[in-house]
Each structure stands twice: as structure tokens, then as C-alpha cells.
Amino acid sequence: MADPDAELDDAVTRAARLLRESNASVIAIHGADVGGIIAAFQLAERLGAAIDHAGAEVALRQQAVLQDIGLMLASPAEARRRADTMLLVGDGPPEGSPEIREFLSAQGGGGTTNLRQLVALTNEAPDSPNAVVAWLQSDATTLPSLLAALRARVNGRPVAPGFAEEAGVDRMAGLLKAASFGVALWHADELAALTIEMLAGLIKDLNFATRWSSVSVSSDASLNAAAMASGWMTGLPLRVSYAGGRPAHDPWEYNARRMIESGEVDALVWISAESDPPPDWVSSVPSILLSPPASPVKSASAIRLPIGRPGDDHDSIRYDRATGTLTETVARAPSKIPSAATTLRRLFYALAPQ
């Protein structure tokens, strides 16, 4: 019977050899807890490698708006506790986060016992026990113009002559301004950067009359953790490279998929605590795959390093969407499968200067 420890030692040795002989490498995170993400950044620094997250495009859209005009964001827990009116923008939030369904079913804030008001800019009428007091049908093509019209009416400015939704927009603008504490809900995967910017501007405008904030929903909790970790580890948003000896950010240049498909790197470290198989582009370069033992692998030549599932095989710290912060999770079924952080640290020390 094979010795699992000996097999892991051999795999780590081969992985370290591949990375040591590499001229340019990249680390791509698909799913990991905070410990694994931090260890990935430390390994990237030792290698002089680029590091990316599979969902970075979503985080970068929001980051661009945050840098340009700012965003007013509330934690999901605060929104649930205090909001008496919610503006649902797009159809994504209820699908992307089960916590949002709880918000839409909860009572209004401010100590009232009434269901909170729900105002919606969605393609389908919301299915919610709350009082849906205003709904305007919208999709990706009409949402920007509806948000622009809302901003105009909130500020007492006219909309274009013959605008078909003028009456509905007027009523919705009045409801938004009448809220005691309003929260806009939107899915970061769904909205384009300019649409997010228009929504951010609407929320700022509403704060001249009352109190409004927003909750950005993401279906990938590890993306939130990676964006936070990138900030405190490097002072930069996601998509960072240590190739120049210090961290540098470029959202296009350090896109892991682009780098691989253009032949700019010759080694990849893929980190995923999920069961999904890696995308096809991963197999086009010599790869080190950190994934659960049962995860499918398309490339027979890849070096496999088994890792456990955060919160299942080992204790972990992860981003909690319900509270909007980092929380500790105790393992449900502790096992001997090492965590991503443990395995990445083994690689880190195996690459120490000889």
C-alpha cells in the first residue's frame, strides 16, 4: 500500500523543481480560505510570480467605481436590521446569495413590525412577501437609462420628452426619497462598471434628502476574501505581480488566463478547494494543482497536491456574506488532508535558497 505522506513529499519535491526551473510563473486562485490566500501571496512573492483570482473581473469593476467616485456600502447585517426600504437592482442578488432571500423576507428596520418596502428594477417581478410598492421591468440594456432617469427625478430635473416610463420613475423616485433608511441590493457579477457608477451616483444623491447605502452581492465568497487580502498584503487590488521585486498591479497584464494563452508563463499553480474541474486553459501549461482528492483533473501531466475543504476537513477563516466580514469556521468532519495554507507553506519552504 502506498504511503500518502511519501507520495505528498514526492509531489511537493517535483512541484518545487518545476517552479525553480520556471522562468515566469503565475498563481491562480479559484477558491480558498483566508489562510490559503495569504500563503498564495507569500509564495508569489518568493517566486517573483503574478497572482490572480478567477473572479477578479468582478472585483475590478467594483474597484474602478470605488476609485473614481466612491461607493456607499453597508454590511448585510446592518441592511437587514435597519432598512425600511430596499431597492433591488437586477435579478442577480436573490440568486447569488441565500442571505438576500432572508432580507427580502424579513421585517422592516427601525423597530417596526411591518414588512419593509421593496422597490425593484428587475426583469421579472420579485417573488417576495414584502410589499412590492414599485416595479419597473428592466434588463441589461434598459437598466442604465432607468437609473439615469431616477437620478434626474430625484434631483428635480426633467427626463427626455416622451420617456415611456416617466410616471413610474416619478413614483419610484418619490418612494426612494421618502425612505428612512434605504439599501440598494445589486449583484457584482451582473452589472457593468458604468451601471454600478450610475447606481453609486443615485445613492449619493439620495443621501442629500435621507439615508441610503448599498450591499454588493457576490456568489463567490473567496473573491471577497482575496480582494481584502490583496489590499492588506500589497496595498493594491487583485491581479498583482512580484516580478519586479515589489508588488505591481495591472488588471490586463496580470490576467492569469491571458498570460497562459499568450505564452508569457511556463508554470501555473492552480488553487481550488472546490470540486469543479479546472478550466481548459489550465492544461495548456505545466501545472501544479491544489484541489480536493476527488476533484477531476483533465491533464495527466499535472502535479497533484491534495488539499482539504475549508470548514469541512479543517478549521478555517472565511469571508461571511451574512455579516460582510471574516469569520472562523470549525471543521465539520476533521481529516488528515492538509489545508491549502499548509501545502503552500511546504512549497514555500521547499523553494528556500539552497
Average pLDDT over every residue of 182-196: 89
Examine the fold and report which residue of 217, 239, 274 is the final residue of a domain before the chain moves on: 217
Measured between its terminal Cα atoms, the distance across the chain in Å is 33
* Shared domain check, 181 and 142: yes
* Shared domain check, 239 and 132: no
Mean pLDDT score of the chain: 88
* Shared domain check, 264 and 160: no
Least confident range of 82-86, 255-259, 299-303? 299-303
Considering the entire predicted model, what is its pTM?
A: 0.86
* Shared domain check, 67 and 203: yes
| Per-residue pLDDT, 218 | 77
* Shared domain check, 204 and 111: yes
* Shared domain check, 202 and 116: yes
| Per-residue pLDDT, 103 | 65
* Shared domain check, 212 and 225: no
* Shared domain check, 35 and 76: no
215 vs 353 pLDDT, higher one: 215
pLDDT digits (tens, 9 = 90+) for 73-95: 888 888 888 889 999 998 876 66
* Shared domain check, 211 and 74: yes
* Shared domain check, 325 and 270: yes
Count of domains for the chain: 2
Examine the fold and report which residue of 191, 217, 243 is the final residue of a domain before the chain moves on: 217
**CATH code of the domain in which 136 resides:** 3.40.228.10
Examine the fold and report which residue of 217, 240, 261 is the final residue of a domain before the chain moves on: 217
**Domain extent for 194:** 61-217
Scored b (16 or more CB within 10 A) or e, 2-32 reads: eeeeeebeebbeebbebbeebebbbbbbbbb
